[in-house]
Structure 1
Amino acid sequence: MNVLEIRNLNKKFGEQTVIQNLNVTIPENSVFGFLGQNGAGKTTTMKMILGLLKADSGEIRVCGEKVEYGQNMTNRYIGYLPDVPEYYGYMSSLEYLKFCGKITGMKRDEIKRKSDELIEMVGLGESRKKRIGSFSRGMKQRLGIAQGLLNSPKLLICDEPTSALDPIGRNEILNLLSYGSCKTTILFSTHILSDVEKICRDIAILHNGRVVLSGPIDKIKSEHNTNLVEVRFSSVDDIEQFLNLKDVQKYRCEVDREKRHVILHGSNQEEIVQKLIEILYQSGIVPSGVNCLEPSLDSLFSEVVR
């Protein structure tokens, strides 16, 4: 069953088109990466899924039921983690989850069972009685995941859940989301592409309100696996000399002077390598290494949104 279906969705603010003919389908028990630069339309889409914004046209269905603006019937299927969760700082994490359970109509025994279970799951067991106001950003994000899963939602929407965290905190949240996908479907909105590669199976890249690339990550990579060649150098001077060559300037190049490498983009890896050998031989530049690359999500993203 598809937990979320978006069909021909459109949204304007005044004369500005924010979402244009958007189509997205998310199956059960998957982590779906919803990607795009800031301003691409991700948050606007999520607000329409939650019934907080009215679409100009198109349709959204959650668990087969149509989302209606201003109503929250379909929200009984949805958990939501905003990018900056807000809490009552004087409450403990346990008090907060019990409060959320009460206002969503859960039974008392279920509230206690689920609250205890989720606090342990997100690693806040030792802090269950501490005031949330003393929590770090990472602890608040973990509590947000617990709150989002409290009512056993069919769909958990996460809006930039790792954007302000350090690498350790990000990995902790990613592990929790990956574990949580065994119980629910997750819509993971972010612009941190390395996070997506770790936990998502399927993605949609949004650019100027349109989906410009979508599908399983492995399939997308396999369809773009013949166009990247990395050339490594022993010095920055060699890089500059290489980049100044006329034949090199015919290629799109990603340059990392700190790591001392250049990635050439072309239509075929074999042709790039053959030409590269000729270029290096004629110029007398000796690289420290040449490597044919599988495209990263970063490189694919840069290609489709430039």
Structure 2
Amino acid sequence: MNVLEVKEIKKSFGSKKVLDGVSFSVPENCVFGFIGRNGAGKTTTMRAILGLLKTDDGEINVCGEKISYGCVPKSCSIGFLPDVPEFYGYMNAREYLMLCGEISGVGKTELKKRISELLELVGLDKEKHRIKGYSRGMKQRLGIAQALINSPKLLICDEPTSALDPVGRKDILDIISAAKERTSVIFSTHILSDVERVCSRVAFLEGGKTVFSGSLEDIHAKRRNTALDLTLAHTEDIKRVLSAFPKGKETDTGIIVPNASDKECADLMAFISAQMIPITCLERHEADLEDLFMEVIGK
């Protein structure tokens, strides 16, 4: 069963078309990567899913119930973590979650139990300090606990790792991965390595359109051949190589040839040898999610 279904939603602000037929679905107990460049329409889509933005066309269903502007589903709740969550700095984590739970209508007995579970999940169960002294990573972890306080069927995280250091990013990714045992997660980001680590399904958003939606296996199936990565000793030789292999794409230090066949690899090696072009590295590697995304959006 799909927890979320987004069907051909459109939205314009004045003459600017921000969403132009976005469609994707999120199954139960899944971490879903919502991928796109800054300005691609990710946040606008999430605001529409939350009922905070009126769309011009299309349909959004959460747990089988249609979402409309200002209306949230009665059959299940939605949790939300914005990219920069705000808190009452004079409270500690437990006090803040108590307030959020009371506002959400969670019973007191259940709320105390749930707060203890969530603080342990996000690694703040032993933290007694006021929130104003929290680091950015600690605030993100508390934000996830807050978003899960009402046991939502769908958790939406808007670029939760974008401003964190490597340790903080790892902590948040581990929490998101663990959270799928209790909910489905939409993980919006432009950090593609994070998506490969925790997501099982993805949607690529570009220019307000869904250019691909499916499992990571589906994406890699589109590109079974490996890419050929050539690093040149002298960057002035890049043009010479590209003139013979126009399929290649220029990098800072050489070229990369996507979907390189065995013959193309042999031809490139023969050309380099015949032209006596010095190189520092020539390797074949399976295309990662970044390679695939850049190809899908035509870059």
Moved more, 217-226 or 194-203: 217-226
CA distance in 2, matches of 1:8, 1:72: 19
Matched with 2:268 is: 276
Q: Are residues 20 and 75 of structure 1, via their aligned partners in 2, closer, same or farther at CA, if it must alter by over 3 Å?
A: farther
How much identity, in percent, do the aligned residues show?
A: 47
Equivalent positions of 1:162-177 (< 5 A) are: 162-177=161-176
- What SS does structure 2 have at the residue aligned with 1:4? strand
CA distance in 2, matches of 1:264, 1:62: 42
Q: How does 1:77-92 map to 2 (within 5 A)?
A: 77-92=77-92
Distance change (3 Å), C-alpha of 1:248 and 1:88:
farther
Cα-to-partner distance string for 1:52-76 (whole Å, 9 max, x where unaligned): 1111111100000111211233595
Other structure's SS at 1:138 match: helix
Gaps of 5+ in 2: none
Deviation at 1:288, TM superposition (A): 4.4
Structure 2 Cα separation of the partners of residues 82 and 32 of structure 1: 16
Amino acid at match of 1:14: G
Count residues in correspondence: 298
Length-normalised TM-score, structure 1: 0.92
TM-score by length of 2: 0.94
Which whole-Å CA distance do the structure 2 matches of 1:132 and 1:204 have between them?
A: 34
Instruction: State the one-letter code of the partner of 2:51.
Output: G
CA-to-aligned-CA distance 1:172-216 (integer Å, 9 cap, x gap): 100100011111100001111111010011111101110112211
Tell me the distance in 1 between the aligned counterparts of 2:181 and 2:245.
Answer: 48
- What is the SS of the residue equivalent to 1:250? coil
Q: Distance in 2 between matches of 1:240 and 1:199?
A: 40
Asked whether the equivalents of residues 247 and 279 of structure 1 are also in contact (C-alpha less than 8 Å), the reply is: no
Aligned-partner Cα distance in 2 for 1:73–1:178: 25
Q: How far did 1:98 drift?
A: 0.4
Q: Which residue of 1 aligns with 2:213?
A: 214
Q: Which 4+ residue blocks in structure 1 deviate beyond 6 angstroms?
A: none
What is the CA RMSD across the aligned residues, in angstroms? 1.8
User: For structure 1, which runs of at least 5 residues remain unmatched after alignment?
Assistant: none
Aligned to 2:240: 244
SS at match of 2:251: strand
SS of equivalent to 1:58: strand
